[in-house]
Chains A and B, each alone.
Chain A
Amino acid sequence: MTTTTPPIITPGPVPQRKLTRAEKRAVDAKTKLSSPAASTIAIAIAILWTIPTLGLLVTSFRPELDIRRSGWWSFFSDPAITLENYNEVLYGSSTNISTALVNSLVITIPAVVIPLTLALLAAYAFAWIPFKGRNILFVAVFALQVVPIQVTLIPLLTLYVDTGLSGSFWAVWLSHAMFGLPLAIFLLHNFMKDIPASLIEAARMDGAGHVLIFFRVLLPLLTPAIAAFGVFQFLWVWNDLLVSLTFAGTGNISPLTVRIADLSGTRGTAWYLLSAGAFISMIVPLIVFLGLQRFFVRGLLSGGVKG
């Protein structure tokens, strides 16, 4: 698959040549957006996509009374800033979102590490250990991607209740690991099989076993793929509502999404709490996303879309 990296203009001395692709397109681009209609549409979309978030962000810093009396746009004519909303939603006795922030972290880290590790091993076996029935088994794992998680929830909950795991972190970790595996194995296998066989053969000649090959030869080459799936799974788990709502409930171990959805249901007009709470839940994924964006895009382009 191609990446989104735009062609780079090399400044090297290449006399008497035609324009490079990039230069030609750069010339085209100038003619393209000169149309006022086109720029207007582009700017309109950009504004539509930004304003709703901006409105809530501004609101989260306005005093409670102001929020109820006037729209967030009046902030610009009459600015008053407070951090009280954040303080209240984080530590206030009725909301206490700070515990949910800890829960989100505690849920997410193992829920990324465990399926990632298991999928790496499975993808290695599917790519580099020949055995009977390998292809059929791989197709079966791949096909499991069609199973919507809704289909699994009722029996899984019964299983967790029977084993006493219900309402504990273990139930949430296990569930996220299970649901992440088919996509993880598929994505990592795609990357893994692209590694030249000669590398593996050479290591085998030197007497390296599977574990040594896996750690010494493959792992360093797979860093981008691991990052790609890591970002996916991180965002998916951190932003998940359904799995946590079902297995963790709204109690002591519920993550941010559950707590904020709950707040939205019970105190739907308390915008000073909702706005600050929503932004607390968005900060971590935004940082991860912006920091690792290119891996995320790469994962998207190689078919990594979790249903």
Chain B
Amino acid sequence: MDWFLDAGTVGHKLALMVLAIVLFAAVMAVILFAVDRPKRIPQWVVVLGFLGPPLLLLAVGLVYPGIATFFGSFQSGNGSRFIGLDNYVTIFSEANFRLVLRNTVLWVLVAPVVATLIGLVYAVLVDRTRFENLAKALVFLPMAISMVGASIIWRFVYEFRPDQPGIAQIGLLNQLLVLVGGSPQQFLLTQPWNTFFLIVVMIWINAGFAMTILSAAIKAIPDDIIEAARLDGVAGLAMFRYVTVPSIRPALVVVLTTISIGALKTFDIVRTMTGGQFGTSIIANEFYTQAFRQQNQGLGAALAVLLFVLVTPIIVYNVRQLRLSEEVR
């Protein structure tokens, strides 16, 4: 049994990986083979063969834990006794948690709006130019890398060295600040601005997403609309404001809501850049800290439930708009 659980060497790990895939394939093959006798086997057995394994995983991995977390949020730190709404009261009344809530609101409002705005402007500006593909790839690439990687990249931009003779700044932002005559700043430590410097990373990652979706929407605007507007003498900024933006409204809403969902659940950036210290924590990060560092699982569960409650309406709205934007096309 140990062989299956404790993989130490590289060879062992790779062998375990191959075994897991083969085992999985074998089990699935047996199920499908058993089920695939048309007309001889009742329909429900066939359905069970196809749907049983995924539904079982979903039940164990999402449904049961969701319910357990909900009940756990009404219990004390180690889950030993029922304490009613105390965890929620703590979240909404204690100063440090209210800071967490305020930061979360900032993330959810600022990141989507700025990222969408930049993505939209950029999509319009590079649309059908000679360098369109290259220009898009440059902004798109941050989507491929991990938030941990992006955080390292930006921590280096914000790197601070004390303002003493003989010590050069190695962070780009502080170097620029020094060049224009300012003194170097501890961008990640100074409250409340440090939260905004973290949000910058989220914007940097998501502008490419916004650009991709919006660019596709812009290209899908029927030519006759643009033609008609042009005949009426609309051009330049007026065209952007009165023709382009209204035509892609559903796509805009989808982009905005999708990024707010991402911002609400951001954990990696906060964790890697500041660890949630210096007043930068947000709900998703505070959840991890409370549940797995402070061993205060009741409070962690309450934060998770709060996250769920905040995210659900945005997702519902997002899906509705997605349907709508599909119908429009």
Contacts and interface: CB of A to CB of B under 8 A. Distances in A.
Interface of A: 1-4, 6, 21, 24-26, 28-29, 32-33, 35, 38-39, 41-42, 45-46, 49-53, 55-56, 59, 67-73, 99, 102-103, 105-106, 109-110, 113-114, 117-119, 121-122, 124-126, 129, 131, 137, 141, 144-148, 150-157, 159, 164-165, 168-170, 173-175, 177-179, 181-182, 185, 207, 209-212, 235, 238-242, 245-246, 252-253, 257, 260-261, 264-265, 268-269, 271, 274-275, 277-278, 281-282, 285-286, 288-290, 293, 297, 300-301, 303, 305, 307
Contact of A53 (B153, B271, B288): B153
B65 to A, nearest CB: 4
Nearest to A297: B212
A181 B145 CA distance: 22
A246 B297 CA distance: 13
A21 B223 contact: yes
Interface on chain A toward B: helix, strand, loop, or mixed SS? helix
A174 B65 CA distance: 14
Given A52-B156, A71-B168, A125-B47, A106 B13 contact: yes
Nearest to B51: A125
Interface in B163-218: 168-172, 175, 204, 207-209, 212-213, 215-216
Interface string B1-35: 00011111010011011001100110010001101
A211 B33 CA distance: 8
Given A118-B53, A168-B5, A209-B38, A28 B128 contact: yes
Given A141-B55, A261-B151, 16 more contacts: A21-B223, A45-B122, A53-B153, A69-B168, A71-B175, A117-B28, A137-B55, A146-B311, A148-B308, A150-B265, A150-B303, A211-B35, A261-B148, A261-B272, A286-B144, A301-B216
B64 interface: yes
Contacts, number: 348
B324 to A, nearest CB: 12
Given A122-B50, A151-B66, A307-B311, A42 B10 contact: no
A297 B236 CA distance: 28
A99 B36 CA distance: 43
A152 B213 contact: no
A300 to B, nearest CB: 6
B61 A156 contact: yes
Nearest to A49: B139
28 contacts: A32-B129, A42-B126, A46-B139, A71-B169, A71-B172, A71-B175, A102-B10, A117-B28, A121-B51, A121-B53, A125-B50, A144-B62, A146-B311, A150-B304, A151-B307, A152-B61, A155-B69, A157-B292, A178-B57, A181-B54, A182-B62, A209-B36, A246-B288, A257-B268, A264-B272, A271-B156, A289-B144, A303-B322
Interface residues of B, number: 120
Interface of B: 4-8, 10, 13-14, 16-17, 20-21, 24-25, 28, 32-33, 35-38, 43-44, 46-47, 50-51, 53-55, 57-58, 60-66, 68-69, 72, 118, 121-122, 125-129, 132, 135, 138-149, 151-157, 159, 168-172, 175, 204, 207-209, 212-213, 215-216, 219-220, 223, 236, 258, 261-262, 265, 267-268, 271-272, 275, 284, 287-288, 291-292, 297, 300-301, 303-305, 307-308, 311-312, 315-316, 319, 322, 326, 329
Contacts of B268: 241-242, 257, 261
Given A2-B329, A69-B168, A155-B72, A241 B50 contact: no
B54 A265 contact: no
A151 B304 contact: yes
B308 A106 contact: no
A169 B7 CA distance: 8
Nearest to A177: B57
A199 B279 CA distance: 59
- Which of A4, A24, A168 has the most CB atoms of chain B within a 10 A radius of its CB? A4
A219 B239 CA distance: 45
Contacts of A39: 125
A212 B32 CA distance: 10
B168 A307 contact: no
Given A122-B50, A148-B265, A182 B58 contact: yes
B271 A181 contact: no
B152 A274 contact: yes
Given A53-B153, A125-B47, A150-B284, A3 B300 contact: no
Contact of A210 (B36, B122, B168): B36
A3 B216 contact: yes
A80 B171 CA distance: 19
B149 A282 contact: yes
Contacts of A268: 155
A109 B14 CA distance: 10
B47 A109 contact: no
Contacts of B291: 153-154
B69 A178 contact: no
A56 B292 CA distance: 32
Nearest to B68: A155
Contacts of B326: 1
Contact of B69 (A29, A151, A282): A151
A45 B208 CA distance: 11
